[in-house]
């Protein structure tokens, strides 16, 4: 189990909503385009497992992305994430709408980002997280940085941090230990 500073655990303890950027956070940022212009993305299965466990522990999960992609729509449906904001030029409006809809304060929100368009949300969030391979300016404004890069386990680290801070990680893991053989 990873060890965190008390200040990060205190912030993570308050989180009721985690907002992920997509490109560079849930993916490694690579875009695959076919001859017809259809876009494909690669998602890490352990990130997905962490998101499912986090959601099952009672924390809401959302994505706010500047791009729009059918691959993202499909993956978010697979993960049963209902708060999906794609094609958001103004990510702040989506952030504020989510807080209003879920009656949350910004201190109850974590945002995970990797590049400059994520800074406005990170500056508003109670817990600002940068993936390991984020732009240096994003890391400068983050409260915490993952050890894994975007699309390669960073989201799972975020989920584990929040569940650990809220004393829910061991319970989430035990469901798999106690399950059918």
| pLDDT the model gives residue 180 | 59
pLDDT at residue number 1 = 59
- Mean pLDDT, rounded, of the chain: 95
Rounded (5°) CA angle 73-77-82 = 95
> What's this model's pTM, rounded to 2 decimal places?
0.94
pLDDT in tens, the chain (181 residues): 577 899 999 999 999 999 999 999 999 999 888 999 888 899 999 999 999 999 999 999 999 999 999 999 999 999 999 999 999 989 999 999 999 999 999 999 999 999 999 999 999 999 999 999 999 999 999 999 999 999 999 999 999 999 999 999 999 999 888 765 5
Q: Report the alpha-carbon distance of residue 159 to residue 26 in Å, rounded.
A: 12
What one-character DSSP code corresponds to residue 153?
T
Q: Would you state the pLDDT for residue 37?
A: 85
Per-residue pLDDT at 80? 96
Q: Kindly state the tokens that stand for 65.
A: 């992305």
Residue ranges of domains in the chain, CATH in brackets: 6-175 (3.40.50.1000)
Q: Give me the pLDDT at residue 2, please.
A: 72
| Angstrom distance (rounded) from CA 146 to CA 139 | 10
Q: Given strand 17-20, what is the order of strands in its sheet? A: 83-85, 60-64, 17-20, 109-113, 127-130, 144-145
Give residue-wise pLDDT tens across range 142-160. 999 999 999 999 999 999 9
The angle subtended at Cα 145 by Cα 141 and Cα 147, nearest 5°, is 160
DSSP secondary structure letters along 17-72: EEEE-STTTTS-S--EE-TT--EE----HHHHHHHHHHHHTT-EEEEE-SS--HHH
């Amino acid at each position: 189990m990873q060890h965190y500073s008390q200040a990060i655990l205190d912030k993570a303890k308050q989180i009721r909503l985690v907002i992920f950027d997509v490109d560079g956070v849930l993916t490694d940022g690579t875009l695959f385009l076919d001859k017809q212009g259809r876009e494909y993305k690669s998602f890490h299965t352990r990130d997905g497992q962490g998101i499912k466990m986090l959601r099952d522990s009672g924390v809401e999960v959302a994505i706010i992305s500047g791009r729009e992609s059918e691959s993202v729509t499909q993956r978010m449906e697979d993960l049963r994430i209902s708060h999906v904001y794609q094609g958001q030029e103004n990510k702040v409006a989506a952030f504020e709408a989510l807080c209003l809809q879920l009656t949350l304060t910004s201190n109850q929100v974590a945002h995970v980002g990797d590049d400059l368009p994520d800074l406005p949300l990170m500056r508003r969030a109670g817990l600002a997280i940068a993936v390991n391979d984020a732009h240096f300016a994003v890391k400068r404004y983050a409260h915490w940085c993952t050890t894994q890069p975007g699309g390669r386990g960073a989201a799972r680290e975020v989920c584990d941090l929040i569940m650990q801070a809220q004393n829910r990680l061991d319970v989430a893991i035990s469901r798999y230990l106690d399950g059918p053989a």
